[in-house]
Amino acid sequence: MSGLLIRGCTLWDGTPGSVYCEGGNIARVYRGEEPDVPADAEVIEASGGSLHPGLIDSHCHPFDYGWLKRCVDLRGTSNVTALRMRLTSGVLRAAPGEWVVGMGWDQEAFPDKSMPSRGDIDDVAPSNPVVLSRICGHIGLLNGEAIRRLGLGRGSGPEYERDPRGELTGIVKETALVDALRMVPKAPERLGSDLLTVDAEAAKLGLTGLHCIVSPEGYREELTALAGLRAAGALSLRYRVYVPFEALGFVKEKRLLDGAGGGGMRLNGVKIFTDGSLGARTAALREPYSDDPGNSGMLRMTDSELGRLVEKVDSLGYQAVVHAIGDRAVEQAVEALSLVTGGGNPRRHRIEHASVVPRDLRSKMARHGIRAAVQPSFVTSDTWAAERLGEERLRDLHPFRSMLEEGIVASGGSDCPVESLSPVLGMWSAMTRGGSVPSESVTLEQALALYTSFAASNGFDELALKEGSPADFTLFDSDIEGMHPALLRKVGVLATVVNGVAVHSYGAG
């Protein structure tokens, strides 16, 4: 097979050059000399665009995103009327009695910022059960028919919101939402095509790898789809897979992700949840929410339950990736992980999101080599953060620059479909922060590290830009070095190269 020449780019170190890839690897890097390659090589003319190691999204939910494309998309609805209109179109498309699922509403975008209730939607869906997830995926709205089907009349506990008369409002949180979504038939035969759609979109956005979080509700179907597509050689990117603990037996029994996956797909670790989200006020905080003084969020597990689970994951040889957003949850995760990190955290255990991280927790993370997988886009999207946390705590929210400078290996990700899958938007958010706590803005070099070297390292992929190393590259359409950060979000991706193959390209010759 002939190779691929990326000609006339600005190399990762800022010098002009060209790169020739062959057999999946970097065959030769040319600096200031005319490349001498076989005549039948595929050529991409870079026209001075920046060539960087392949960008990796270190936390995303491609199945949820693919599924969202088939669901009622509620993102961008800024009032209950708009939400009702979108829901009505979904109900009209559904068969009688069929579940209608929507995702992406955000009461923070509504004029009065109050949560919707079943009273807002019951009349548009009188006979179809409806579940509408909030943008964060930690809180949802059920209509009366869904409550009836799920037999929730007596549902109790903080996961089920009730009005002053004791009636269910339809708002359910955390495990109650997971339980509701579990009841919805997922059309497993479509998971494969969902993933392929996301795979192609990710390639266009310049991503060469995804750290794919498999869901607790649908892991059987999702893992089967992943294994099927791997066997068919249908996926263009590299997948590093993270599963719920309860899925490990299934993976083993079906021998799903072992054997000859090469660098294409690998089961890396186990995803664990400790708390919810700030948007839903379910993230566990040390002190109460500034805009809800009686509420400090909720932990999903006790300290000892988490400790035992982390220890089990570690002893089985897997990487533990622990969802923790509030500082109380991050503290719980740090405590549990610090007991198994030994000298240098060889299993690369990490904290997902790590949103509210005050200095004491950052230094303990750095001391124990505990890593983080962060979502820069949260900074520019969560415009209500100051209300939730107050100005004082806001300085500890997404402190990317401090994390990096204090020695925490932090990788970037989108949490897509919570945020856009675009890594360029993530880099832009990390650099500009929409003006929020500018002292935590990162440099271009740091933003690139979030999505390249640190993301690779957080998934056990060693980045090496030398001859003989795997050829994964992202080629931008312009030279991004020295570009004003505000312009970065407009930068396009000219080509994406995975394993020496241009899986996306505008400039192939």
Q: Considering the complex, what minimum distance in angstroms separates the CB of residue 61 from Zn ion?
A: 6
Q: Considering the complex, what minimum distance in angstroms separates the CB of residue 373 from Zn ion?
A: 9
For Zn ion, give the closer residue by CB, 355 or 432: 355
423 is written with which tokens? 């890594």
| Residues of this chain that bind Zn ion (CB under 5 A) | 415
Which residues are paired to 496 by β-bridges? 474, 504
For Zn ion, give the closer residue by CB, 201 or 415: 415
CA pair distance 227, 264, nearest whole angstrom: 11
Q: Considering the complex, what minimum distance in angstroms separates the CB of residue 260 from Zn ion?
A: 29
For Zn ion, give the closer residue by CB, 24 or 62: 62
Q: What are the residues whose beta carbons fall under 8 Å from the beta carbon of 277, sequence distance 6 or more? A: 136, 137, 138, 139, 283, 325
Q: Considering the complex, what minimum distance in angstroms separates the CB of residue 216 from Zn ion?
A: 12
Exposed (0-12), middle (13-18) or buried (19+): which is 153, by Cβ within 10 Å? Answer: exposed
Residues constituting the chain: 509
Q: Alpha carbon of 223 to those of 191, 313, 385: distances in Å?
A: 10, 19, 35
Other CB atoms within a 10 A radius of the CB of residue 133 amount to 24
DSSP state of 289: B
For Zn ion, give the closer residue by CB, 44 or 60: 60
For Zn ion, give the closer residue by CB, 161 or 415: 415
CA pair distance 388, 181, nearest whole angstrom: 27
For Zn ion, give the closer residue by CB, 184 or 272: 272
The amino acid occupying position 479 is D
Q: Considering the complex, what minimum distance in angstroms separates the CB of residue 120 from Zn ion?
A: 27
Q: Considering the complex, what minimum distance in angstroms separates the CB of residue 413 from Zn ion?
A: 8
Tokens 């893992």, residue?
223
For Zn ion, give the closer residue by CB, 371 or 504: 371
The amino acid occupying position 508 is A
121 is written with which tokens? 């939607």
For Zn ion, give the closer residue by CB, 57 or 415: 415
Which residues are paired to 319 by β-bridges? 269
CA pair distance 329, 478, nearest whole angstrom: 41
Q: What are the residues whose beta carbons fall under 8 Å from the beta carbon of 315, sequence distance 6 or more? A: none
Q: Considering the complex, what minimum distance in angstroms separates the CB of residue 271 from Zn ion?
A: 8
Q: Considering the complex, what minimum distance in angstroms separates the CB of residue 211 from Zn ion?
A: 10
For Zn ion, give the closer residue by CB, 59 or 238: 59
Q: Where do runs of H (alpha helix) occur along 122-232? A: 144-150, 175-182, 191-204, 219-232
Find the residue with minimal CB distance to Zn ion.
415
For Zn ion, give the closer residue by CB, 221 or 415: 415
Judge whether 504 and 203 are in contact, CB under 8 Å: yes
Checking DSSP bridges between strand 25-31 and strand 139-142, what pairing results, if any?
unpaired
Q: Considering the complex, what minimum distance in angstroms separates the CB of residue 416 from Zn ion?
A: 9
DSSP line for 59-112: EE-HHHHHHHTTSEE-TT--SHHHHHHHHHHHHHHSPTT--EEEEEE-GGGSTT
The amino acid occupying position 340 is V
Q: Considering the complex, what minimum distance in angstroms separates the CB of residue 64 from Zn ion?
A: 8
